[in-house]
Structure 1
Amino acid sequence: MDALLDTVDQQNTLPTRDACEAFFLETAWGALYFALAQMGPVSATRTAKRLQAVLRFWEPLQCARYLFKKVGMAHTLEELMVAAYDWAMDAWCPEGDASVHERLAMAAERMERATREDCIEAIFREMPRALAHADKLKHWKRVADPDFQRERLTTLDSWFFERVSAARPGDLIWLLTNWDHELEVQ
């Protein structure tokens, strides 16, 4: 991706990245790559497309073992997806008694058709996980307040909201950090 983006004009990197991703989601390894790549904040809709692509290739992807996060520890596809998407299953499919495949499918379906309010509810389900890793906030108590969070989430412009709508904890930490910084300069 980096080499490809280096070849295009700076103003065209997002459309090029989007076209490349759309093309590669039609392959098993491309689907897995984009599902696991941490390329900045990603919307609920885009996350749904990535999950749906992996789910389309579930059968052939199950034959391999994967290295992820812990060096030398091979994971099955299910273990890999739990390690990478436990947050999505918790936020979008909190009913935990189904298989990993079923929970990911349900999460993807819910993300795909999510309203702004659905996204806010998913964000609230994941906010405790994000807050547990956001220990360097100067105004932690304030940004941890659900009323403060709801007020801020409802007033986010569509561009910022889209970036956190999937409820990925890393994106929520980014959001909490921005809110903390805004409180610092007020």
Structure 2
Amino acid sequence: MASKQPSSLQLPSFLRGLYSSVHQNSKKEGLRCGEQYRKDGAFSAPRQMLEVSPGEVVLTHGVADFQHERPAWRLYMLSNVMSGMYEALNWQNTFQVDDPYEAFCRENAWGALYFATSQDAPRSAERTALRLQAVLRFWEPLQSARYLFKTLGAALTLEELMVASCGWALDAWCPAGDTSVHARLKTAAERMARATREECLEAIFRELPRALAYARNLKHRDALADPTFQRERLASLDPLAFERVSGACTSDLLEKLYDWDHELGLH
């Protein structure tokens, strides 16, 4: 059931504190969640929520967390909750619990932002649409904080964070950049949610040049850059494999380019 949306941004208390305490407390939360899921197949809200002061900085990626001795909001440590949950389940059927836990988290501002910015697999068009739509539902409270992502320096606004973490989705699914980030995210999410296979292919073709630009040490770059070759290889993917890349995430396409480069070297 969706929780009532607060007017201010609130995060679970276990995500606030020194690095060592957040690491320990988030693991305990994961163990609690895992035990509950094993008993009744459900999750419950964190036991204590704390309000994030307007303008306070939230760390959304471990790369930016270089001052472990200072108290901070460490949103990225929700990954530690998931590790604790897996441990409570004895690392059995972990894939089966991923989807319901993410769905539960997306009903809260903190969970919505984590799954949108962390880009945990899968990154299909359908899953990414759900993640972006969740962030849009909590846009107002999320705007009150500032964020650090993968680079140090000035903290980011919510709009800047979403461009830094989900720019690939904007470029692939709403390339026109003359509207607000919020509007582009909404359009991208709507298109991804109802996308056909052909529409996913169009988005992938828009993003493949960027993936190629990031690729290093390719032995067959010219062949990989050929649109005919790309279309043939994408057409050969089974439904599950195609769904994995259907969101057109740059890192997923980069992985596919390396796979194709390796396959070409075998012939």
TM-score category of the 2 structures, normalised to the smaller one: over 0.9
Note the C-alpha offset of 1:135: 2.1
Q: Which amino acid aligns with 1:104?
A: L
| 3-state SS of 1:66 partner | strand
Return closer, same or farther for 1:81/1:133 CA change in 2, 3 Å cut-off.
same
Q: Does 1:133 align with 2:214?
A: yes
- 1:1-80 map, 5 Å: 1-80=82-161
Structure 2 alignment gaps of length 5 or more: 1-81
Q: Which residue of 2 aligns with 1:174?
A: 255
- Distance in 2 (alpha carbons) for counterparts of 1:176 and 1:31: 30
Q: Which has the larger radius of gyration?
A: 2
- Distance in 2 (alpha carbons) for counterparts of 1:136 and 1:90: 25
| 3-state SS of 1:156 partner | coil
Note the C-alpha offset of 1:159: 1.0
Q: Which residue of 2 aligns with 1:155?
A: 236
Between the aligned residues of both structures, percent identity stands at 63
Q: Is the 8 A contact 1:91 1:123 kept in 2?
A: yes
Note the C-alpha offset of 1:71: 2.0
Note the C-alpha offset of 1:39: 2.1
Note the C-alpha offset of 1:40: 3.2
Q: Is the 8 A contact 2:116 2:166 kept in 1?
A: no
- Distance in 2 (alpha carbons) for counterparts of 1:166 and 1:69: 22
**TM-score if structure 2 supplies the norm length?**
0.67
Deviates more, 1:66-75 or 1:9-18: 9-18
Q: Which amino acid aligns with 1:158?
A: P
Q: What RMSD over aligned residues (CA atoms) do the two structures have, in Å?
A: 1.2
Runs of 4+ deviating beyond 6 Å: none
Q: Which amino acid aligns with 2:209?
A: P
Q: Is the 8 A contact 1:21 1:34 kept in 2?
A: yes
Q: Which amino acid aligns with 1:144?
A: A
Give the alignment partner of residue 143 of structure 1, picking from 201, 205, 224.
224
Q: Which residue of 2 aligns with 1:90?
A: 171
Note the C-alpha offset of 1:80: 0.4
Which of the pair has the greater relative contact order for Cα pairs under 8 Å at 6+ separation? Answer: 1
Return closer, same or farther for 1:170/1:41 CA change in 2, 3 Å cut-off.
farther
- Distance in 1 (alpha carbons) for counterparts of 2:201 and 2:117: 23
**TM-score if structure 1 supplies the norm length?**
0.96
How many residues are treated as equivalent by the alignment?
186
